[in-house]
Amino acid sequence: MSERAAKVTPADDEQDDDQITDSAAPDAVTEDDAAGGDSGSTAEPVTTGAESVVRALENAGVEYAFGVQGGAIMPVYDALYDSDIRHVTMAHEQGAAHAADAYGIVSGEPGVCLATSGPGATNLVTGIADADMDSDPMVALTGQVPTEFVGNDAFQETDTTGVTTPVTKDNTFASDSDRVGSDVSEAFALAREGRPGPTLVDLPKDITKGATDREPDAPTVPDTYQVQERADSEIVDAAAERIENCARPVMLLGGGVIKGEASEACREFAIEHEIPVITTMPGIGAFPEDHELSLEMAGMHGTGYANMAVTHCDTLIGIGTRFDDRLTGGIETFAPDAKVIHVDIDPAEISKNIHADYPLIGDAETVVEQLSEAVDSSPEAKKWRAQCQQWKSDYSMAYDAPEDKPVQPEFVVEALDEATSDRAIVTTGVGQHQMWACQYWTYTEPRTWVSSHGLGAMGYGLPSAIGARLAADDDQEVVCIDGDGSFLMTLQGLSVAVREELDITVAVLNNEYIGMVRQWQDAFFDGRHSASDYGWMPEFDKLAEAFGACGFRIDDYDDVAETIDDAIAYDGPSVIDVHIDPDANVYPMVPSGGDNGQFALTEDQL
């Protein structure tokens, strides 16, 4: 698997040409052009390690790569020059990682990002960690100083594999020009196999410059990597019996449902057996939220009715979820009366946080199909479904929007939803705006919700919109709902969107605060707004114009519908600076570690 020690080979380059930066290139080849060059490929034979790296990406069907040039990665960029892979030069390496991450979420295939050694590689780490927390398929390729300089504190040297080991599914220090292309092929295969995640290959400059005529192996995982596809049939039968005989069932769909292409199977199962459905935040879109069985998202800022259903169910069918703390609140109060059926492809997640009475290890789609075959009769749950509908009425997500107050953010999110198609893709940064985007947009399709969940990385929204746009179908709108604090962190990505002529719409919900921090300070720190007041924000509409994008501004309700229509109709990147009520808060809310059934609807209830 990962190599930790470098193989020292003579360097054939000068150190002073390892200290530079900046370039680009272009679309993809076939999967048959792989192992050993015996496939009848018409491609030019490889002559260097760098060309073998690029050939491995071509063989894997890679169409786009996101990155920033630099000295140690330069040989790979030179090889990209003659490739059909389209390289998108980002304005910051963090943006490259987030764009690749979003590309993987929307396309289902690993996104690829590149950076040079040292600061280039370390700038990728936030995006790699985000992909690791959310199990998103991604391949990171990082330049490294020549192997003879490794360990000598050379210019722009960092122990990249050491730094990223905790946040990658697998990483490799390439030590052989003949092998380096196959290292990349294996990294690509590992990123998408089983539970997806980020992989990394660190590429010393002498290895990528080194001579080789070796074609990379096809993208395959090592023989030692085993993934269990089907769950134990006896446990499946026992779980099926539990479902048949329960009275208050709930299906909880996590991000693994979408990554495992199990959304359709879950929808069919829920509808056939009339089981209410809730999702985690990463699972948004796995089940249509306009369906009568949908209770939408559960957890810290989930709907009241979803949290009531979790709290009072007697059977919880969790699929592709890791039961993280933002979902569960206090472990002892989460689904206290329920027997838990847990489906997950990763055995490490079973009973890690919530005890599984019926542990079903396997591929989500496969295991749901197993359950479908094993369940002979639907549970008698008519009264339960009626109760869930009553909770929907009791804990409605309705909100006030008085005309004599500043624009409410919920109104803006709903207006954006109404102005776009059901297949529109939403990306977000992290904060209050992220929660409003969860709560007030109606998601009906998988792979239309793109956000940073486990890591909660502010700044994710704009670069992820770039990756999402390139992965999306031409007829899908891409809308980034961002906060002023998040947008400020990565807004240099506007230069990329303008240069690449990407049709994305950014709506900045501007309250001149780090809003979620301000909300917590009001609730738990006596309203002491330490370092959360951002009253010095720029005028984002004018800033957008300076980048070459189209800028808009919303100050009152009369502006909302027409401005949104104009921004979405604009053929290119547009930014709407939406001045919202600075006092608006996100509710429902379950305090950290609290009881989901005791959610607050106002600050007084916290």
Residue 22 pLDDT grade (very low, low, confident, very high; cuts 50, 70, 90):
very low
Cβ atoms 395, 309 nearer than 8 A:
no
Instruction: Write the DSSP assignment of 401-415 as a string of letters.
Output: --TTSPBPHHHHHHH
- pLDDT at residue 111 tops 70: yes
The pLDDT value recorded for residue 83 is 97
Instruction: Write the DSSP assignment of 74-109 as a string of letters.
Output: HHHHHHHTTSSSEEEE-SSHHHHHHHHHHHHHHHSS
Record the tokens describing residue 544, joined without a space. 């957008």
- pLDDT at residue 28 tops 50: no
User: Annotated catalytic residue: which of 69, 94, 156, 519?
Assistant: 156
Residue 124, classed as helix, strand or coil, is: helix
User: Annotated catalytic residue: which of 58, 63, 93, 349?
Assistant: 93
Record the tokens describing residue 307, joined without a space. 């949290």
Cβ neighbours around 382 below 10 Å, total = 10
CA-to-CA dists, residue 595 to 279, 408, 483, 519, angstroms: 18, 28, 28, 19
What number is the average pLDDT over the span 391-413?
Answer: 95
Residue 597, classed as helix, strand or coil, is: helix
- CATH entry, 409-580, from 1.10.150.80, 3.40.50.2300, 3.40.50.970, 1.10.3720.10: 3.40.50.970
Residue 154 pLDDT grade (very low, low, confident, very high; cuts 50, 70, 90):
confident
Question: Which of 35-44, 365-374, 411-420, 471-480 shows the lowest per-residue confidence on average (mean pLDDT)?
Answer: 35-44
Record the tokens describing residue 603, joined without a space. 């600050």
Distance CA 427, CA 465 (A): 6
Cβ atoms 534, 485 nearer than 8 A:
yes
Cβ atoms 44, 176 nearer than 8 A:
no
Place of tokens 């916290």: 606
The pLDDT value recorded for residue 42 is 62
- pLDDT at residue 593 tops 70: yes
What number is the average pLDDT over the span 202-225?
Answer: 96
Place of tokens 């490259």: 96
Mean pLDDT of the chain: 93
pLDDT in tens, 568-591: 999 999 999 999 999 999 999 999
Domain 233-395 has CATH 1.10.260.40: no
Cβ atoms 238, 358 nearer than 8 A:
yes
pLDDT in tens, 331-383: 999 999 999 999 999 999 999 999 999 999 999 999 999 999 999 999 999 99
| Angle value at C-alpha 172, between 170 and 173, nearest 5 degrees | 155
Q: Give catalytic status of residue 405 as yes or no.
A: no
Cβ atoms 208, 72 nearer than 8 A:
no
Residue 35 pLDDT grade (very low, low, confident, very high; cuts 50, 70, 90):
very low
Domain boundaries, the chain: 49-209, 233-395, 409-580
What number is the average pLDDT over the span 141-157?
Answer: 92
User: Facing residues of 317 across strands?
Assistant: 251, 341
Q: Give catalytic status of residue 155 as yes or no.
A: yes
User: Facing residues of 400 across strands?
Assistant: none
List alpha helices for 247-363, DSSP H. Answer: 255-259, 263-273, 304-312, 325-328
Residue 202, classed as helix, strand or coil, is: strand
Prediction pTM value: 0.92
pLDDT in tens, 168-186: 999 999 999 999 999 999 9
Architecture field, domain 49-209: 3-Layer(aba) Sandwich (3.40)
What number is the average pLDDT over the span 231-242?
Answer: 98
Distance CA 442, CA 433 (A): 15
Q: Give catalytic status of residue 589 as yes or no.
A: no
